[in-house]
Structure 1
Amino acid sequence: MSCDHKNPVIGIIMGSESDMPAMEPCMKQLEEFGVPYEVKVASAHRKPAEVHEWASTAHERGIKVIIAAAGKAAHLGGVVAAYTPDPVIAVPMKTSDLGGLDSLLSMVQMPSGVPVATVAINGAKNAAVLAVQIMGTGCDGARQKIIDMKKAMAEA
């Protein structure tokens, strides 16, 4: 199956501009894979209507996987998952209060029927890798990018 994409296929959403530096490894990894993505900054608590609009139209825009980064209460991934059929990967942000444990625990405690995959605290790069692995289940090109990356890691 060919899956060369010109338009974004990964959606990245974060709750605050302050999350941007922690999410740079995610964007860098997607760029290295040659996978187009879009970025949105909107808080599930401060801009819920904007999050709803973005998430509920993501699939129609061609988004296949969503990566959601948030800290503290960290509800963004779950809220996004409620509005999209696409898989959602949550990235818990490290916090000054509890070191990100608050974010992590909030993200992994999703109700039945609304799953959110969760990576490590500040695990932005792994979120990108997991997103491309998910894409690789239906796209030989994406799968090959992962195969090549793992081969390069083994040879390093």
Structure 2
Amino acid sequence: MEREVSELADKKVAVIMGSDSDLPVVKGAIDTLKGLGIGVEVHVMSAHRTPALACEFAASARDHGFAAIIAAAGKAAHLAGVLAAHTTLPVIGIPVKSSTLDGLDALLATVQMPSGIPVATVAIDGAQNAAILAAQIIGVTDAEVAYKLSVRKEEMKQGVIEKDRKLQEQLG
């Protein structure tokens, strides 16, 4: 058992974008993962233009030490589903806002997966939450990551308490 846990402690997360134009969105996930001490590898792959490459990546992701895959895509947003179809790793989809339907098309495409091929889905452009979810998955078996997440939550709590204190002072 100890061997399995220590192996999991070295896991990393893949962040796959359907287009390099998605980088401003996924940067939040990349920064969050790095801030939690989780390895991250970022690639551009298309469900439509490089389907064989995307499928091959997903099929071998576990063997390459990944604990989860985050997939960001807009419009038809098939990337997360294609990746999920070729791996047993958790896949977290980030629907990316596009100019046509403000990302609603991507949200629906990402969340509406067939039975047996789940994709966890965060909000439109919700890259930071995708990273937190991946970290929570890793934190199930990695105490250090779980601790960092608990510290992060405590900091958020204290931030809200401080804002309320300032508001009460202001309102007198």
Larger radius of gyration: 2
Match of 2:32 in 1: 29
- 1:76 equivalent in alignment to 2:79: yes
Q: In angstroms, what is the RMSD of aligned CA positions?
A: 1.1
Aligned residue for 1:128? Answer: 131
**Can you give the 5+ residue segments of structure 1 that lack an aligned partner in the other structure?**
none
- Determine which of 11, 18, 22 is the counterpart of 2:21: 18
Aligned-pair CA distance for 1:40? 1.1
Show CA shifts across 1:118-143 (max 9, x none).
00000000000010011111221111
Q: Distance in 1 between the 2:43 and 2:56 partners?
A: 11
CA distance in 1, matches of 2:94, 2:13: 14
- SS of 2:66's equivalent in the other structure is coil
Deviation of 1:4 after TM superposition, in Å, equals: 4.0
Matched, 1:137 2:137: no
Following superposition of structure 1 onto structure 2, how do residues 103-114 of structure 1 map, counting pairs within 5 Å? Answer: 103-114=106-117
Task: Measure, in 2, the Cα distance between the counterparts of 1:17 and 1:11.
Answer: 15
**2:119 counterpart letter in structure 1:** V
Q: Could you tell me which residue of structure 2 aligns to residue 66 of structure 1? A: 69
TM-score by length of 1: 0.95
CA deviations 1:72-128 (Å, max 9, x no partner) are 000000000011110000000000000000000001100000000000000000000
Partner Cα separation in structure 1 for residue 91 and residue 47 of structure 2: 15
> Which residue of 2 is the match for residue 151 of structure 1?
154
Q: Secondary structure at the residue paired with 1:64?
A: strand
Q: Is the 8 A contact 2:16 2:45 kept in 1?
A: yes
Q: Secondary structure at the match of 1:30?
A: helix
The number of aligned residues is: 154
Query: Residue type of the partner of 2:120?
Result: A
TM-score, structure 2 normalization? 0.87
Unaligned stretches of 5+ residues in structure 2: 160-172
2:129 maps to a residue whose letter is N
**Match of 2:77, SS?**
coil
Amino acid at match of 1:133: Q
How far off is 1:20 after superposition?
0.6
Which residue number corresponds to residue 105 of structure 2?
Answer: 102
